[in-house]
Amino acid sequence: MREEVHFRIYRILLYAFAFVLPFSTPSLMYLRLDHSYFNVTPSILGLFLLNWLIEANFKAKFQRIRENKLTFPFVAMVSFYLLYVIGLTYSTNLDFAGKDILLKVPFLLFPVLIFTANPSIWKPKMAQNLLFTFTLGSLFALIASLTNSFLHCGETLSIDYFLYGRASLFFHPSYASMYYCFSFIIILYFLINKQLHSWKKIIAWLMFLLFPMEIVLLNSRTGLLAFVIIMLFFAFYVFIFNWKKSLRFIAYMSVLLCVLVTAFYLMPAGTNRLFASINNLFHKEAKALNDAENSGIDQKNKDAMFGRVDVARTQVWESAVEVIQDHPVLGVGTGDIKEALMEKYIKHDFPTPQENNLNAHNQFLQVTVTLGFVGLAVFLALLASIFWISWKKRSILLLLFGLLCMINFWTESMFEKQIGVMFFAFFFALLCYVATNQLLKDNK
């Protein structure tokens, strides 16, 4: 009886975390709410840990890691976190280091909490329902963002609230695009495998239409590029390993193509950042800027659209490489990365990185600057475990999750924000566990 109570609490907390993750974040850029009140994911994670500790039976729990053949990803993730703890010993800014260690606690907790779970917790279709719950949370975030955009557009008569930064109510467009992209992957997977029925299928079709359109409106170049690459890999998987469903996949992709073409067509001239970047490559920035001037976009969004932010990102990358050359083996330590980068910004007179105290804007560089090539090696081993398990278990969701994160790692330091840490740690642990235990199988 006592064990069943813990199982029930565990399942409730899993569902609750999956649902609130897409809109619970401490970095609300436009929504004027008390951050400490709205950011509930750490509280749910704390309840997870408390339930796990009270349940006890630790020896049996850790034996399940080996039994489930999750030793390698578990060791890789825990080692990655412990390297940040070790980085405290050679850091001078212990205040920042302490906050960073706390930020990255999910890297330690989620593998422990999920990999040690009793398989009997997972009732039939629980994995499917859990992933669908996450997509419902993403749909809630999307509808809230669109509602906010409509309200502000009605007040200001400006389309700016439908595009890029103002289109996302809860967090940066790059992260919002990543969440919507992964949610779309889940929905497409369910539709192709006919795993949804009744009201779920109706809502899934709504998501199928809304998520891609919102990705276009968010106008994140990384988000758009990631979405295209992910769809190509998905198509490759279907045609090679699941060819019987190829006609169904082509039908869905045809609908998707119509949605995307319509979304791009409806966007005002000069507001597409991807096309603007291409224009810049061919020295057509003046025309693109002129189009933007006539589209009602504010100055902040123009700066983001036409490469000015790209210049700062390139400067940051150059500075990060120099810091790595100075500290190649163990890096500068968990607490000193901002000071190390700032020294380079000042040295080379990079104004935008100085003013905004920018991080490396690349997770691979961020890890290497902080923990050196030792940390990078462990990080790459962690990513390798994702692709190894996905290949061995033929888990397309785990594969596309890893690929989506890899793409975003090139332009964002995802692990410097709670919304990135929570996303990666939760789905890394969850999808690895689901894949190794074959808890989500394709319908034939």
Q: Quick: pLDDT tens for 84-113.
A: 999 999 999 999 999 999 999 999 999 999
User: Is the pLDDT reported for residue 282 higher than 50?
Assistant: no
Contact at 8 Å (CB) between 333 and 91? yes
- Rounded Cα distance between 188 and 249, Å, is 9
Average pLDDT, the chain: 84
Kindly state the tokens that stand for 330.
């163990």
What whole-number distance in Å separates Cα of residue 310 and Cα of residue 296? Answer: 22
Q: Is the separation of the CB atoms in 223 and 178 below 8 Å?
A: yes
Per-residue confidence band for 316, with pLDDT thresholds at 50, 70 and 90:
very high
Residue 248: closest CA among 22, 442, 408, 407 = 442
Length of the chain: 444
d(CA 300, CA 347): 27
Q: Is residue 419 a contact partner of residue 175, using CB atoms and an 8 Å limit?
A: yes
Structure tokens that stand for 42 in this block? 């750490």
How confident is residue 179, by pLDDT bands cut at 50, 70 and 90? very high
Confidence of residue 364 (pLDDT cuts 50, 70, 90): very high
- pLDDT grade for 3, boundaries at 50, 70 and 90: confident
**Nearest Cα to Cα of residue 359 among 413, 406, 310:** 413
Amino acid at 189: Y
Q: What is the DSSP letter of 268?
A: P
373 burial (CB, 10 Å; 0-12 / 13-18 / 19+) is middle
And the tokens for 372? 């050196």
d(CA 143, CA 127): 25
Compute CA distances 442 → 242, 312, 330, whole Å.
Answer: 9, 45, 44
Cβ-proximal residues to 117 (8 Å cutoff; 6+ apart), any chain: 10, 61, 64, 433
Quick count: other Cβ atoms within 10 Å of Cβ 32?
Answer: 5
Nearest to 143 by CA among 211, 224, 219: 211
What are the domain boundaries of the chain?
A: 62-121+319-444
Backbone angles phi, psi at 238, to 5 degrees: -65, -45
Write out the H or E segment, with its range, that includes residue 443. Answer: none
How large a percentage of the chain has pLDDT more than 70? 82
Query: What is the per-residue pLDDT across 25-73, written as a single tens digit (0 to 9) for each?
Result: 654 444 444 444 468 899 999 999 999 999 888 999 999 999 889 999 9
C-alpha to C-alpha distance for 44 and 47, rounded to whole angstroms: 5
- Six token digits for residue 128: 């499917």
d(CA 213, CA 165) in angstroms, rounded, equals 15
Tokens, residue 35: 């951050």
pLDDT band at 197 (very low <50, low <70, confident <90, very high): confident
Stretch (H or E) spanning 169: none
* pLDDT of the residue at 284: 44
